[in-house]
Amino acid sequence: MLIKTAEFVKSSGKWQECPDATIPEYAFIGRSNVGKSSLINAMMNHKDLAKTSQTPGKTQLINHFLINEEWYLTDLPGYGYARVSKSTRKDFEKLITNYILNRKNLVNLFVLVDVRHTPQKIDLEFMQWCGESGIPFSIVFTKADKLKPGGAQRNVDTYETELLKTWEEAPQMYITSAEKKQGGDEILKYIEQTNQY
């Protein structure tokens, strides 16, 4: 998909404040520092559409971007911050879960994980919750350039094996690097194929 236009629409602190759900929507989520902003910017061919996070846990808002005047890209606040208070964390979680469960035009959720890490409990639990809630999601592995060739695929295979211990089928997986602008095209291809209402 050629990105002709990518515009910031609004930031919302509640799911009810999100733009009208009139066009297909694709959301990106992951732990802080996973490389979400970098990947969004790389995919959109934009230096600073999504703000790369200096202070983990600061952004507690849902950010909507209108792409090609056809679909929304949504940048969700990260989950699993260690450095914020329990009540702040609860607020994040409520915002995210309410958005995910109520957003009618949400086509797919892209869950980002750092390809260098072994499967983390918090990510697995989040994916489990998505599955139980009937939310379609894919896994996006980030920072593939940080591993030697073959290393990323090996880690993805390990991840898949872990998931298949509890799942009948593994979700769609993408291996990406914002740094090398890799993998984003496949995500955009999927979006292009599914964003027609």
Helix spans in 70-136 (H): 86-102, 121-132
Is 64 a binding residue for ligand GDP by CB under 6 A? The answer is no
Binders in 41-60 for ligand GDP, by CB under 6 A? 52-53
Which listed residue (139, 143, 156, 195) binds ligand GDP by CB under 6 A? 143
Give kind and range of the element (H or E) at residue 71. strand 71-75
Is 38 a binding residue for ligand GDP by CB under 6 A? The answer is yes
Contact 75, 63 (CB under 8 A): yes
Minimal distance, residue 98 CB to ligand GDP, in Å = 21
Minimal distance, residue 95 CB to ligand GDP, in Å = 17
Contact 60, 13 (CB under 8 A): yes
User: Which two structure tokens, joined as six digits, stand for 1?
Assistant: 């998909």
Which listed residue (18, 26, 35, 127) binds ligand GDP by CB under 6 A? 35
Minimal distance, residue 77 CB to ligand GDP, in Å = 10
Question: Please, which residues have CB within 8 angstroms of residue 97's CB and are 6 or more apart in sequence?
Answer: 129
The site for ligand GDP (CB under 6 A) is made up of 30, 32-38, 52-53, 142-143, 145-146, 177-179
